[in-house]
Structure 1
Amino acid sequence: MAGISGGKNYHHGDLRNALIRAAVDLATEGGPERVVLREAARRVGVSPTAAYRHFDGRGELLRTVRAHARVRLAEAMERAAAREPGADDPALAAERRLAALCRGYVGFAVEHPGLYRAAFCAGRPAPGEPPVGVPVPPEPEIRAFTLLKESLEALDRTGGRRPAAGAAAWSAVHGLSLLLLEGPLRRLSARRRDDVVETTLAMVVSGARTP
């Protein structure tokens, strides 16, 4: 998404979207901690007062960025799955799709760490920000998990899925992503990192099969 620098004009009536784009840029650069309504307003070139006409505070803006980041994550997974060659064997095709979706998940985290972290942030108000009187809307279904679940359902139709495999697969790729971003695995070389990713994905696929 194109960056927005301070003072750059926005189309009349489109300030909300301009603020969202600026906030997404902030998250891309430094994760959810960088998403601050006043800074987004500065980048767009408007006053904080104008920004507060569109967002109640940092919490609402961060939840909007989180939703955008989750869409981007799901899109990366779908692109990875689209690149995977098909197979005549339905079970093999389902396994390949599952592995490709997981590969796209981890790949997004490694390539866009700020957005990935924003995708799963809590979206709390900034310190000192007054609580918002409007109730927080219910959490929508996370498309990334839906993709994994649907892929496992396809594997199930071939007679090869363990119960609760969806949560296990998600836990594996999410945990691996965090280890690569913030844990000891962040020091791995690119080649070694790829080896660890592929080994983990093979375990996910193998673990999803019924014994």
Structure 2
Amino acid sequence: MAQSGTYHHGNLRAALVDAGLEMIRTGGPEALSLREVTRAVGVTPSAAYRHFASRQALLAAVAAAVQEHMAEAMLRHWPDGSDAEAARARLHAVGTGYIEFALAEPGWFAAFFPPEGATPDGGPSSAQPPRPFALLTQALDSMVEAGALGPGARGGAEWPCWSAVHGFAHLASTGPLQHRPDPELRALASATVTAIIDGVSSRP
């Protein structure tokens, strides 16, 4: 039975994911405990097992929610337009949104990738790409359509882009850049994203 002031509505799965998000926000994925999540929601562990067969399955669902939050951060800077400048700006929005999210939410960023082989429902792994990665490929495709990126340079371009921003995000959130002033970090982040876009765009 739910405790007073805790779980009272019908969507227990969403409530468990929300509680998991709060738990990892400050402690990272290592802080996630299925027992503590059920306690926070106000239900028994057996009730949670109807939705998540294991901690790994819950962590995969939490990771999927983190990916959605990151996609929203990217879309906040997502411009309209079909010309080359707008297409380039979309790719820049993907990169800066990724880094800004990592800096603002390091606990969530640490849980961006679900455990290997784990899925939210405990079933076989899905081939569905994370939404931020889908936005990256969409931005690159729009650059080709706008003439800002040659068709021959498009193949595999998502990997150097993702590698550059992911590496910078780690350096800035948990590595040697983490204590730099915020304005300096943002300037470095923008320069990194611009450099990788220039590099990809110049590929033959």
Under a length normalisation based on structure 2, what TM-score does the superposition of the two structures give?
0.85
How far apart, in 2, do the equivalents of 1:39 and 1:152 lie? 41
Q: Does structure 1 residue 26 correspond to structure 2 residue 23?
A: yes
Stretch of structure 1 that moved more, 170-179 or 155-164: 155-164
User: Are residues 1:41 and 2:38 paired?
Assistant: yes
Structure 2 CA distance for aligned equivalents of residues 210 and 36 of structure 1: 47
The correspondence for 2:175, drawn from 183, 195, 205, is 183
Percent identity between the aligned chains?
A: 36
Q: Distance in 1 between matches of 2:131 and 2:12?
A: 27
Worse overlay, 101-110 or 137-146: 137-146
1:62 aligns with one of 53, 59, 63: 59
Q: Retained in 2: the 8 A contact 1:62–1:123?
A: no
> What CA distance in whole angstroms lies between the structure 2 residues aligned with 1:184 and 1:100?
24
Residues 1-211 of structure 1 aligned to structure 2 (within 5 Å): 8-82=5-79, 90-122=83-115, 135-161=123-149, 162-163=153-154, 164-210=156-202
Maintained 8 Å contact 1:7/1:42? no
Q: CA RMSD in A?
A: 2.2
User: How far apart are 1:157 and its partner, in Å?
Assistant: 2.1
Deviation at 1:97, TM superposition (A): 1.6
**Which segments of 5 or more consecutive residues in structure 1 lack a partner in the other structure?**
1-5, 126-133
Q: TM-score when scaled to structure 1? A: 0.82
Q: Distance in 1 between matches of 2:123 and 2:114?
A: 18
Distance 1:205 1:108 in 2: 19
Query: When the two structures are aligned, how many residues end up with a matched partner?
Result: 194
Query: Contact conserved, 2:88 with 2:148, CA < 8 A, in 1?
Result: no
Following TM superposition, the consecutive aligned residue runs of length 4 or more in structure 1 with deviations greater than 4 angstroms are: none
- Residues 1:123 and 1:37: Cα distance change in structure 2 (over 3 Å): farther
